[in-house]
Amino acid sequence: MDVYKITGENRLQGTIKVSGAKNSAVALIPASILANSPVTIGGLPEISDAWTLKALLEEIGGEVSFEDGVMTIDPTEMIALPLPNGNVKKLRASYYLMGAMLGRFKKAVIGLPGGCFLGPRPIDQHIKGFEALGAKVTNEHGAIYLRADELIGAKIFLDVASVGATINIMLAAVLAKGRTVIENAAKEPEIIDVATLLTNMGANIKGAGTSVIRIEGVEELHGTEHTIIPDRIEAATFMIMAAALGEGITIDNVIPLHLEAIIAKLREMGVKIEIDEESIFVPKTDLSSLQAVDVKTLVYPGFPTDIQQPLSVLMSQAFGSSKITDTIYTARFKHIDELRRMNAIARVEGNTAIITGPNKLQGSTVTATDLRAGAALVLAGLLAEGETEIHDIYHIERGYSSLIEKLRDLGADIRRETIMARVAETKE
Protein backbone atom coordinates (compact mmCIF):
# COMPACT_ATOMS: atom_id res chain seq x y z
CA MET A 1 0.00 0.00 0.00
CA ASP A 2 1.09 3.56 -0.67
CA VAL A 3 1.52 6.15 2.08
CA TYR A 4 2.69 9.75 2.37
CA LYS A 5 5.73 10.35 4.55
CA ILE A 6 6.23 13.91 5.75
CA THR A 7 9.12 15.36 7.74
CA GLY A 8 7.65 18.43 9.39
CA GLU A 9 8.70 21.92 10.48
CA ASN A 10 10.02 23.07 7.08
CA ARG A 11 9.04 26.65 6.33
CA LEU A 12 7.37 27.06 2.93
CA GLN A 13 7.75 29.85 0.40
CA GLY A 14 6.88 30.59 -3.22
CA THR A 15 3.88 30.34 -5.54
CA ILE A 16 1.38 27.47 -5.64
CA LYS A 17 -1.19 27.13 -8.42
CA VAL A 18 -4.74 25.98 -7.73
CA SER A 19 -6.20 23.29 -10.01
CA GLY A 20 -9.70 23.21 -11.50
CA ALA A 21 -12.60 22.62 -9.13
CA LYS A 22 -13.17 18.96 -8.25
CA ASN A 23 -16.82 19.59 -7.40
CA SER A 24 -17.35 21.20 -10.83
CA ALA A 25 -15.39 18.56 -12.73
CA VAL A 26 -17.52 15.67 -11.47
CA ALA A 27 -20.65 17.40 -12.86
CA LEU A 28 -19.23 18.99 -16.03
CA ILE A 29 -17.93 15.66 -17.37
CA PRO A 30 -21.33 13.87 -17.12
CA ALA A 31 -23.05 16.97 -18.58
CA SER A 32 -21.25 16.26 -21.87
CA ILE A 33 -23.55 13.22 -22.34
CA LEU A 34 -26.34 15.68 -23.25
CA ALA A 35 -24.55 17.05 -26.35
CA ASN A 36 -24.85 15.82 -29.94
CA SER A 37 -21.24 16.70 -30.83
CA PRO A 38 -17.85 16.84 -29.04
CA VAL A 39 -17.39 18.81 -25.79
CA THR A 40 -13.96 20.03 -24.65
CA ILE A 41 -13.38 20.96 -21.00
CA GLY A 42 -10.09 22.66 -20.09
CA GLY A 43 -8.37 23.17 -16.75
CA LEU A 44 -9.62 19.88 -15.26
CA PRO A 45 -7.77 18.58 -12.19
CA GLU A 46 -5.95 15.30 -12.88
CA ILE A 47 -7.57 13.48 -9.98
CA SER A 48 -8.80 9.91 -9.71
CA ASP A 49 -12.46 11.01 -9.89
CA ALA A 50 -11.86 12.53 -13.35
CA TRP A 51 -10.19 9.34 -14.61
CA THR A 52 -13.07 7.25 -13.19
CA LEU A 53 -15.62 9.40 -15.05
CA LYS A 54 -13.59 9.09 -18.25
CA ALA A 55 -13.81 5.28 -17.93
CA LEU A 56 -17.57 5.46 -17.24
CA LEU A 57 -18.24 7.59 -20.34
CA GLU A 58 -16.18 5.13 -22.40
CA GLU A 59 -18.24 2.25 -20.97
CA ILE A 60 -21.41 3.73 -22.48
CA GLY A 61 -19.79 4.34 -25.88
CA GLY A 62 -18.17 7.77 -25.57
CA GLU A 63 -14.83 8.56 -27.16
CA VAL A 64 -12.78 10.40 -24.54
CA SER A 65 -9.26 11.82 -24.47
CA PHE A 66 -7.73 13.38 -21.35
CA GLU A 67 -4.30 14.96 -21.23
CA ASP A 68 -2.73 18.06 -19.67
CA GLY A 69 -6.00 18.87 -17.93
CA VAL A 70 -8.03 18.95 -21.16
CA MET A 71 -10.79 16.38 -21.67
CA THR A 72 -12.48 16.03 -25.06
CA ILE A 73 -15.63 13.92 -25.07
CA ASP A 74 -17.42 12.76 -28.22
CA PRO A 75 -20.86 11.62 -26.99
CA THR A 76 -22.42 10.86 -30.40
CA GLU A 77 -22.19 7.05 -30.14
CA MET A 78 -23.23 6.80 -26.48
CA ILE A 79 -26.05 4.41 -25.55
CA ALA A 80 -28.09 3.97 -22.35
CA LEU A 81 -26.11 1.03 -20.98
CA PRO A 82 -26.85 0.11 -17.35
CA LEU A 83 -23.99 1.01 -14.93
CA PRO A 84 -24.93 -0.96 -11.81
CA ASN A 85 -21.41 -1.82 -10.56
CA GLY A 86 -17.69 -1.28 -11.05
CA ASN A 87 -16.39 2.26 -11.58
CA VAL A 88 -19.72 3.82 -10.65
CA LYS A 89 -19.24 2.60 -7.05
CA LYS A 90 -15.87 4.38 -6.69
CA LEU A 91 -17.38 7.77 -7.07
CA ARG A 92 -19.78 9.65 -4.85
CA ALA A 93 -20.73 12.05 -7.64
CA SER A 94 -21.66 9.20 -9.99
CA TYR A 95 -25.25 10.29 -9.37
CA TYR A 96 -24.78 13.06 -11.98
CA LEU A 97 -24.89 10.27 -14.58
CA MET A 98 -28.54 9.80 -13.56
CA GLY A 99 -29.63 13.32 -14.54
CA ALA A 100 -27.51 13.40 -17.71
CA MET A 101 -28.57 9.94 -18.98
CA LEU A 102 -32.20 10.52 -18.05
CA GLY A 103 -32.09 13.84 -19.92
CA ARG A 104 -30.62 12.33 -23.06
CA PHE A 105 -31.98 8.77 -23.18
CA LYS A 106 -35.10 9.04 -20.93
CA LYS A 107 -33.74 6.06 -18.97
CA ALA A 108 -30.77 5.08 -16.82
CA VAL A 109 -29.57 2.41 -14.39
CA ILE A 110 -26.92 3.69 -11.99
CA GLY A 111 -25.40 1.86 -9.01
CA LEU A 112 -25.69 3.71 -5.72
CA PRO A 113 -22.68 5.99 -5.34
CA GLY A 114 -19.52 5.49 -3.29
CA GLY A 115 -16.79 8.05 -2.45
CA CYS A 116 -15.93 9.39 1.00
CA PHE A 117 -18.00 7.93 3.81
CA LEU A 118 -19.44 10.95 5.57
CA GLY A 119 -22.53 9.20 6.81
CA PRO A 120 -25.56 8.87 4.56
CA ARG A 121 -25.72 11.42 1.77
CA PRO A 122 -29.34 10.95 0.76
CA ILE A 123 -30.39 11.37 -2.84
CA ASP A 124 -34.08 11.76 -2.00
CA GLN A 125 -34.11 15.36 -3.30
CA HIS A 126 -32.62 14.20 -6.62
CA ILE A 127 -35.30 11.50 -6.93
CA LYS A 128 -38.07 13.94 -6.00
CA GLY A 129 -36.89 16.19 -8.84
CA PHE A 130 -36.72 13.39 -11.40
CA GLU A 131 -40.22 12.21 -10.44
CA ALA A 132 -41.58 15.75 -10.77
CA LEU A 133 -40.23 15.80 -14.34
CA GLY A 134 -42.16 12.60 -15.09
CA ALA A 135 -39.63 9.82 -14.42
CA LYS A 136 -40.45 6.59 -12.63
CA VAL A 137 -37.69 5.87 -10.11
CA THR A 138 -37.15 2.51 -8.40
CA ASN A 139 -34.37 1.04 -6.27
CA GLU A 140 -33.66 -2.53 -7.39
CA HIS A 141 -30.75 -4.62 -6.05
CA GLY A 142 -28.77 -1.57 -4.92
CA ALA A 143 -29.11 0.31 -8.23
CA ILE A 144 -31.41 3.19 -9.13
CA TYR A 145 -33.61 2.56 -12.19
CA LEU A 146 -34.96 5.66 -13.95
CA ARG A 147 -37.50 5.47 -16.78
CA ALA A 148 -39.61 8.13 -18.50
CA ASP A 149 -41.76 8.19 -21.64
CA GLU A 150 -40.96 11.87 -21.81
CA LEU A 151 -39.75 14.55 -19.42
CA ILE A 152 -42.00 17.54 -18.87
CA GLY A 153 -40.95 20.73 -17.08
CA ALA A 154 -42.20 21.15 -13.52
CA LYS A 155 -41.94 23.37 -10.46
CA ILE A 156 -39.66 21.73 -7.90
CA PHE A 157 -39.07 22.97 -4.36
CA LEU A 158 -35.98 21.47 -2.70
CA ASP A 159 -36.42 20.70 1.02
CA VAL A 160 -32.70 21.34 1.48
CA ALA A 161 -30.55 23.52 -0.79
CA SER A 162 -28.56 20.55 -2.11
CA VAL A 163 -25.80 21.20 -4.66
CA GLY A 164 -26.05 17.67 -6.04
CA ALA A 165 -29.84 17.79 -6.44
CA THR A 166 -29.77 21.28 -7.99
CA ILE A 167 -27.24 20.21 -10.63
CA ASN A 168 -28.86 16.83 -11.26
CA ILE A 169 -32.32 18.33 -11.84
CA MET A 170 -30.73 20.95 -14.10
CA LEU A 171 -29.10 18.17 -16.18
CA ALA A 172 -32.40 16.31 -16.53
CA ALA A 173 -34.48 19.43 -17.26
CA VAL A 174 -32.49 21.14 -20.04
CA LEU A 175 -33.92 18.75 -22.69
CA ALA A 176 -37.38 18.38 -21.05
CA LYS A 177 -40.49 19.88 -22.67
CA GLY A 178 -41.53 23.24 -21.27
CA ARG A 179 -40.37 25.17 -18.24
CA THR A 180 -38.74 23.85 -15.06
CA VAL A 181 -38.40 26.06 -11.98
CA ILE A 182 -36.09 24.91 -9.14
CA GLU A 183 -36.88 26.76 -5.90
CA ASN A 184 -34.58 26.80 -2.86
CA ALA A 185 -31.79 25.93 -5.28
CA ALA A 186 -28.21 25.81 -3.97
CA LYS A 187 -26.05 28.81 -4.92
CA GLU A 188 -22.53 27.35 -5.02
CA PRO A 189 -20.09 28.59 -7.71
CA GLU A 190 -19.95 25.04 -9.14
CA ILE A 191 -23.65 25.32 -10.07
CA ILE A 192 -22.94 28.49 -12.03
CA ASP A 193 -20.05 26.67 -13.74
CA VAL A 194 -22.29 23.79 -14.86
CA ALA A 195 -25.02 26.22 -15.97
CA THR A 196 -22.41 28.12 -18.02
CA LEU A 197 -21.34 24.93 -19.80
CA LEU A 198 -24.97 23.92 -20.49
CA THR A 199 -25.81 27.44 -21.75
CA ASN A 200 -22.80 27.31 -24.08
CA MET A 201 -24.19 23.98 -25.35
CA GLY A 202 -27.48 25.71 -26.19
CA ALA A 203 -29.51 25.32 -22.97
CA ASN A 204 -31.79 28.11 -21.72
CA ILE A 205 -31.04 28.59 -18.00
CA LYS A 206 -31.69 31.71 -15.93
CA GLY A 207 -30.90 32.38 -12.27
CA ALA A 208 -28.01 29.97 -11.59
CA GLY A 209 -26.29 31.20 -8.42
CA THR A 210 -29.59 32.42 -6.94
CA SER A 211 -32.22 30.46 -5.03
CA VAL A 212 -34.56 30.23 -8.05
CA ILE A 213 -33.37 28.67 -11.32
CA ARG A 214 -35.61 28.74 -14.42
CA ILE A 215 -34.98 26.38 -17.31
CA GLU A 216 -36.78 26.43 -20.66
CA GLY A 217 -36.36 23.03 -22.32
CA VAL A 218 -34.72 22.92 -25.75
CA GLU A 219 -34.80 20.29 -28.55
CA GLU A 220 -31.07 19.51 -28.52
CA LEU A 221 -27.69 20.55 -27.17
CA HIS A 222 -24.47 20.81 -29.17
CA GLY A 223 -20.79 20.51 -28.30
CA THR A 224 -18.73 23.44 -27.01
CA GLU A 225 -15.47 24.40 -25.31
CA HIS A 226 -15.38 25.36 -21.63
CA THR A 227 -12.75 26.14 -18.98
CA ILE A 228 -13.52 25.03 -15.43
CA ILE A 229 -13.43 27.42 -12.46
CA PRO A 230 -10.56 27.11 -9.93
CA ASP A 231 -11.07 24.91 -6.88
CA ARG A 232 -12.04 27.18 -3.96
CA ILE A 233 -11.56 24.32 -1.45
CA GLU A 234 -8.01 23.64 -2.65
CA ALA A 235 -7.30 27.39 -2.60
CA ALA A 236 -8.58 27.64 0.99
CA THR A 237 -6.48 24.61 2.01
CA PHE A 238 -3.36 26.35 0.67
CA MET A 239 -4.29 29.63 2.39
CA ILE A 240 -4.50 27.81 5.74
CA MET A 241 -1.18 26.08 5.03
CA ALA A 242 0.40 29.45 4.17
CA ALA A 243 -0.84 30.89 7.47
CA ALA A 244 0.56 27.96 9.46
CA LEU A 245 3.91 27.48 7.74
CA GLY A 246 4.50 30.18 5.16
CA GLU A 247 7.35 32.63 4.76
CA GLY A 248 5.21 34.38 2.13
CA ILE A 249 3.12 32.27 -0.25
CA THR A 250 1.20 33.35 -3.36
CA ILE A 251 -1.83 31.23 -4.21
CA ASP A 252 -2.42 31.59 -7.94
CA ASN A 253 -5.53 30.88 -10.07
CA VAL A 254 -8.23 31.81 -7.57
CA ILE A 255 -11.54 33.70 -7.67
CA PRO A 256 -11.35 35.72 -4.41
CA LEU A 257 -15.14 36.23 -4.36
CA HIS A 258 -15.55 32.45 -3.83
CA LEU A 259 -13.32 32.60 -0.74
CA GLU A 260 -14.89 35.47 1.19
CA ALA A 261 -16.09 33.41 4.18
CA ILE A 262 -12.66 31.79 4.58
CA ILE A 263 -10.75 35.07 4.14
CA ALA A 264 -12.94 36.72 6.80
CA LYS A 265 -12.40 33.87 9.29
CA LEU A 266 -8.61 33.76 8.75
CA ARG A 267 -8.40 37.53 9.23
CA GLU A 268 -10.40 37.16 12.45
CA MET A 269 -7.72 34.70 13.64
CA GLY A 270 -5.01 37.27 12.90
CA VAL A 271 -3.81 36.12 9.47
CA LYS A 272 -2.85 38.87 7.00
CA ILE A 273 -4.21 38.32 3.47
CA GLU A 274 -3.53 40.42 0.39
CA ILE A 275 -6.03 40.00 -2.46
CA ASP A 276 -5.31 40.48 -6.16
CA GLU A 277 -7.62 39.85 -9.12
CA GLU A 278 -6.69 36.19 -9.63
CA SER A 279 -4.28 35.50 -6.78
CA ILE A 280 -3.98 35.80 -3.00
CA PHE A 281 -0.77 36.50 -1.08
CA VAL A 282 -0.40 35.34 2.53
CA PRO A 283 2.67 36.95 4.15
CA LYS A 284 4.44 35.27 7.07
CA THR A 285 2.01 34.94 9.98
CA ASP A 286 3.10 35.67 13.52
CA LEU A 287 1.75 32.48 15.17
CA SER A 288 2.20 34.00 18.62
CA SER A 289 -0.66 36.40 17.82
CA LEU A 290 -3.02 33.77 16.34
CA GLN A 291 -6.40 33.89 18.13
CA ALA A 292 -9.02 31.19 18.66
CA VAL A 293 -12.28 31.58 16.69
CA ASP A 294 -15.71 29.97 16.47
CA VAL A 295 -16.84 28.59 13.11
CA LYS A 296 -20.20 27.28 11.97
CA THR A 297 -20.36 25.57 8.58
CA LEU A 298 -23.18 26.65 6.28
CA VAL A 299 -24.17 26.30 2.64
CA TYR A 300 -22.53 28.79 0.25
CA PRO A 301 -21.81 31.66 0.70
CA GLY A 302 -21.27 30.58 4.32
CA PHE A 303 -18.18 28.80 5.66
CA PRO A 304 -17.75 25.53 3.72
CA THR A 305 -17.94 22.19 5.52
CA ASP A 306 -15.03 21.04 3.31
CA ILE A 307 -12.68 23.49 5.06
CA GLN A 308 -13.46 22.90 8.72
CA GLN A 309 -11.01 19.98 8.84
CA PRO A 310 -7.94 21.80 7.47
CA LEU A 311 -8.84 24.84 9.60
CA SER A 312 -8.87 22.69 12.75
CA VAL A 313 -5.11 22.17 12.28
CA LEU A 314 -4.47 25.93 12.30
CA MET A 315 -6.76 26.23 15.34
CA SER A 316 -4.40 23.88 17.22
CA GLN A 317 -1.79 26.66 16.92
CA ALA A 318 -4.07 29.52 18.06
CA PHE A 319 -4.37 30.89 21.60
CA GLY A 320 -7.50 29.69 23.38
CA SER A 321 -10.28 27.24 22.59
CA SER A 322 -11.73 27.29 19.08
CA LYS A 323 -15.07 25.72 18.23
CA ILE A 324 -16.24 24.26 14.93
CA THR A 325 -19.90 23.38 14.57
CA ASP A 326 -20.67 21.38 11.42
CA THR A 327 -24.34 21.75 10.53
CA ILE A 328 -23.94 19.83 7.26
CA TYR A 329 -22.03 16.58 7.93
CA THR A 330 -21.87 15.49 11.55
CA ALA A 331 -19.62 12.55 10.61
CA ARG A 332 -16.94 15.00 9.51
CA PHE A 333 -14.95 14.86 12.74
CA LYS A 334 -13.11 11.57 12.30
CA HIS A 335 -9.89 13.53 11.76
CA ILE A 336 -10.03 14.77 15.38
CA ASP A 337 -8.97 11.35 16.73
CA GLU A 338 -6.08 11.32 14.26
CA LEU A 339 -4.98 14.84 15.27
CA ARG A 340 -5.05 13.73 18.90
CA ARG A 341 -2.52 11.02 18.01
CA MET A 342 -0.34 13.92 16.89
CA ASN A 343 -0.67 15.62 20.31
CA ALA A 344 -3.51 18.03 19.46
CA ILE A 345 -5.81 18.94 22.35
CA ALA A 346 -9.25 18.40 20.84
CA ARG A 347 -12.56 16.77 21.57
CA VAL A 348 -15.96 16.32 19.89
CA GLU A 349 -19.25 17.12 21.59
CA GLY A 350 -22.23 16.33 19.36
CA ASN A 351 -21.76 18.22 16.10
CA THR A 352 -19.08 20.52 17.56
CA ALA A 353 -15.32 20.05 17.80
CA ILE A 354 -13.39 22.03 20.43
CA ILE A 355 -9.68 22.56 19.75
CA THR A 356 -7.40 24.18 22.34
CA GLY A 357 -4.01 25.66 21.55
CA PRO A 358 -1.34 26.51 20.99
CA ASN A 359 0.08 23.02 21.10
CA LYS A 360 3.16 21.50 19.46
CA LEU A 361 2.14 18.69 17.08
CA GLN A 362 4.21 15.49 17.00
CA GLY A 363 4.73 13.25 13.96
CA SER A 364 2.76 10.00 14.07
CA THR A 365 1.17 7.29 11.93
CA VAL A 366 -2.34 8.41 11.01
CA THR A 367 -5.12 7.43 8.60
CA ALA A 368 -7.05 9.64 6.19
CA THR A 369 -10.72 8.77 6.72
CA ASP A 370 -11.96 10.99 3.90
CA LEU A 371 -10.70 13.55 1.39
CA ARG A 372 -10.65 16.71 3.53
CA ALA A 373 -9.55 14.82 6.67
CA GLY A 374 -6.59 13.71 4.55
CA ALA A 375 -5.81 17.32 3.63
CA ALA A 376 -5.92 18.23 7.33
CA LEU A 377 -3.45 15.44 8.16
CA VAL A 378 -1.06 16.61 5.42
CA LEU A 379 -1.12 20.10 6.98
CA ALA A 380 -0.62 18.63 10.45
CA GLY A 381 2.31 16.55 9.20
CA LEU A 382 3.95 19.61 7.63
CA LEU A 383 3.64 21.44 10.98
CA ALA A 384 4.60 18.56 13.27
CA GLU A 385 7.95 17.73 14.79
CA GLY A 386 9.43 14.54 13.33
CA GLU A 387 7.95 12.21 10.71
CA THR A 388 4.28 11.64 9.94
CA GLU A 389 3.05 8.67 7.91
CA ILE A 390 -0.41 8.98 6.35
CA HIS A 391 -2.36 5.89 5.31
CA ASP A 392 -5.34 5.56 2.90
CA ILE A 393 -4.00 8.38 0.74
CA TYR A 394 -6.35 7.38 -2.12
CA HIS A 395 -8.91 9.60 -0.36
CA ILE A 396 -6.59 12.62 -0.74
CA GLU A 397 -5.84 11.86 -4.40
CA ARG A 398 -9.55 11.88 -5.21
CA GLY A 399 -9.53 15.64 -4.77
CA TYR A 400 -6.04 17.16 -4.83
CA SER A 401 -4.13 17.11 -8.12
CA SER A 402 -0.29 16.79 -8.06
CA LEU A 403 -0.27 17.63 -4.34
CA ILE A 404 3.20 16.26 -3.57
CA GLU A 405 4.81 18.12 -6.48
CA LYS A 406 3.08 21.39 -5.54
CA LEU A 407 4.15 21.16 -1.89
CA ARG A 408 7.73 20.14 -2.70
CA ASP A 409 8.05 23.19 -4.96
CA LEU A 410 7.38 25.33 -1.86
CA GLY A 411 10.03 23.48 0.17
CA ALA A 412 7.99 20.75 1.90
CA ASP A 413 9.62 17.41 2.74
CA ILE A 414 6.87 15.04 1.56
CA ARG A 415 7.12 11.85 -0.45
CA ARG A 416 5.00 8.91 -1.48
CA GLU A 417 6.25 5.46 -0.49
CA THR A 418 5.04 1.91 -0.90
CA ILE A 419 5.07 -0.09 2.33
CA MET A 420 4.06 -3.64 3.19
CA ALA A 421 0.37 -3.77 4.11
CA ARG A 422 1.00 -5.88 7.23
CA VAL A 423 2.98 -2.99 8.73
CA ALA A 424 -0.22 -0.97 8.58
CA GLU A 425 -2.20 -3.69 10.33
CA THR A 426 0.13 -3.70 13.33
CA LYS A 427 0.29 0.07 13.69
CA GLU A 428 -2.33 0.04 16.44
Q: Which residues are marked as active site?
A: 116
The residues, any chain, with a CB within 8 Å of residue 349's CB and separated by 6 or more, are: none
Cis peptide before 358 (omega within 30 of 0): yes
Q: Count of residues for the chain?
A: 428
Q: Where are the alpha helices (DSSP H) in 179-333?
A: 189-200, 232-245, 260-269, 305-315
**∠ CA 315-317-322, rounded to 5°:** 30
Is 252 within 8 Å of 17 (Cβ atoms)?
yes
Binding-site residues for UDP-N-acetyl-alpha-D-glucosamine: 92, 121-125, 306, 328
Binding residues: 22-23, 92, 121-125, 306, 328
Closest CA to 349 of 310, 323, 313: 323
Give the CB-side neighbour count of residue 64, counting CA atoms within 13 A. 23
Binding-site residues for phosphoenolpyruvate: 22-23
> What whole-number distance in Å separates Cα of residue 384 and Cα of residue 369?
19
With contact defined as beta carbons under 8 Å apart, do 21 and 231 qualify? yes
